[in-house]
Amino acid sequence: MSDPAVPPTPPVPLAALLAREDLALRQIAGPTDPATVVHWAHTSEMADPYPYLLGGELLLTAGVHIPEAAGSGTYFDDYVSRIVAAGGAALGFGVAPVHDTVPRALVAACDAYELPLIEVPPQTTFSGVARAVWQLMAQARHAELRRVTEAQQSLAAAASRPDPVPSVLRQLARRVGGQAVLFGPEGAEIASAGRKTGRTQADDALARLVRLVAERASTTATDTVAGLHLAVYALGAGHGFALGVAAPRREPGDHTIASVAAVLLSLLTGEHQSGPGAGRSSALVRLLLGAQPEDVAPLLGGGQWVVVHARPDTPAAPDAVAASALGASLGSPLIDVTRDVVRVLLPADREPGPQPGWTLGVSAVAGPREGAGADVQAARALARARATRTELVRYGARPALADLVPEADAEAHARALLAPLTSTLTETLRTWLSLHGSWDRTAVALDVHRNTVRQRIAKCAALLELDLDDPDVRMELWFALRRP
C-alpha cells in the first residue's frame, strides 16, 4: 500500500502532546517511538473509520461504537487494523462517559498492530486535545518560518562575500546539518562543504541523481540511501551545474532553504560562464573607461530596452534573493535593488507580464541614451499602478499634441512655468494630475497623508498663481509636467 496522503501542515511529535500537563494524556499501548508525529486530531465513533481518514491523524473515540460482546471476538483487531491501514498515527480513547476504563482487548490489539494508544482522562475534552494539536502546529509553523527566514538572510549574506560560492555551500551545509556539493556540467565535484557522507552507497546515489537532473528529466531529484536524505537541484537553464545535498535528517523547511541556495548558486555560476556574464562585465568596464552607452548595448543583449520598476506587495523591503527571483521570472539578470523598489532592465523583445506578489510599472521602449527618461517613466507608471491597485501599468507613450511642439520649445516652456516649484511639489502635482485630482489615491502613490497632499497642492497653486480647478490650466500644466 502507498504512503497515506497527509495534510500539508507541520507535524506535531506525539511526545510533545503527551508532555502537555494540562491534558494529562497517558500512553498505555503501542510503541513509544519519539519519531511518531501527528498531523491533526479527528473524532469519530464509526465502527470502521477507514473511509474518513487521510492519514497521520490522532483518532479520538469514546467507544460509543463498541458492541457489548466485542471483547470475545475479533472486533478490536478489525478496528485497529483498519486504522493502521488508513495511516492513522495514534488512537486516543476517552475514559467516561461510555467506558470506565480502556478495554483490555483494545490495548492488546494496539500492541499487536503497533498503534500507539493514548488514554484521555475524563476531565480532558476531545476539543481540548484538538486545540492543543493546533497550538503545537502553530508553534512548529512559526519556528519553521523563523528558521527559513534566518537561513535566507544568511545565504544572501554569504552570496555577497568575496568567495560567494564556497560561502553559500558552507552556510547551506550548516543549516541542514549535512553536506552541500556543487557539481559541474560533466558531473564532477567542483566544491563542497560540511560533513562528508563517508558512505559509498550514498555517494553513488547522489551521482545518479546528478545525472538524472543533467538529462533534464527533472529539475530536482530526491532519494534516501544508507540513512541519508539526498536531494539534487539543477542550477539555471542549460549550463549544467547542479547542487547536491546530503543530510542525516530532513527537517521542515529544508527544501525551501536548499531551493534558495540553488537560486543563488544558479546566479553565481551563471556569472562565471563565458557568455552573458562575461558580456555584462565587459560592458561595465567599457562604460567606466568612457565608452558610450550605444557602443556597449550589444554586449548586454540588445539595443532597445524597457525599464521595469517593481515593488513588493508586502510591507517588507525587497532583498537580493527576491530581486534575483523577479529578474529571472521577467527574463533579465540586469537588476538593481533600491530601498523599496527593484529596477529591471529588460530587452524590448521580452514582454513583461504581471508577477505574483509584485506591483509593476513599465516604461516605453528606449534606446541606450534614453535610459534616464525611461527610468522616470517606469517610476511614474509604478506610482499609478499602486494608486489604482493594478498589477502592472505601462507608460502611455503614443503620438499626441505634444509632438506638434518642438522639443526644445516645450522644455523651455516647462522650465519657465514650473520654475517656482521644488522637486517635491513638482512630483506631487504631476501625480495628483495623473490621478484626476484624487487626494486619497495621490496619498497612496506618494506614501504620504492626504492632508499633506492638500497642503502641497495648495502651495503649488499659490506659487504658480493659477487656478488648479480650471481644466485649461490643468492641461497646460500636464503638458509641462510630461517633460522628463
The second-level CATH assignment, the architecture, of 401-481 is Orthogonal Bundle (1.10)
The pLDDT value given to residue 281 = 65
Sheet containing strand 26-29, edge to edge, reads 26-29, 117-120, 90-94, 57-61, 40-43
- Cα separations in angstroms, 464 against 7, 421, 477: 64, 8, 10
CATH class, 304-394 region: alpha beta
The pLDDT value given to residue 46 = 94
Round to whole Å and give the CA distance between 119 and 121.
6
The pLDDT value given to residue 239 = 61
The pLDDT value given to residue 401 = 56
Contact 172, 235 (CB under 8 A): no
The pLDDT value given to residue 131 = 95
Round to whole Å and give the CA distance between 50 and 243.
41
The domain made up of 160-271 has a fold known as: Beta-Lactamase (3.30.450)
CB atoms within 10 A of CB 295: 13
Round to whole Å and give the CA distance between 25 and 17.
8
Round to whole Å and give the CA distance between 278 and 144.
39
Beta-sheet strands, E only, within 314-409 = 335-337, 342-347, 358-362, 392-394
CATH 3.30.450.30 boundaries in the chain: 160-271
What are the mean pLDDT values of the chain's consecutive 10-residue runs (484 residues total)? 51 94 96 92 94 93 89 90 96 93 95 97 95 91 87 86 82 92 80 78 85 75 86 75 88 86 81 52 69 73 83 78 73 82 87 86 87 88 85 72 64 88 92 90 90 94 91 88 71
CATH 3.40.1390.20 boundaries in the chain: 12-136
Phi-psi region at 52: left, alpha or beta (left = phi > 0; alpha = psi -120 to 50): alpha
In this prediction the pTM is: 0.47
Neighbouring residues of 97: CB distance < 8 A, sequence distance ≥ 6: 62, 122
The pLDDT value given to residue 426 = 92
Structure-block grid coordinates of residue 283: 560592458
* CATH number for the domain formed by residue range(s) 12-136: 3.40.1390.20
The pLDDT value given to residue 3 = 46
The pLDDT value given to residue 156 = 87
CATH 3.30.70 boundaries in the chain: 304-394
Round to whole Å and give the CA distance between 484 and 482.
6
Q: 218-245 in b/e burial notation, b at 16+ Cβ within 10 A?
A: eebbeeebbebbbbbbbbbeebbbbbbb
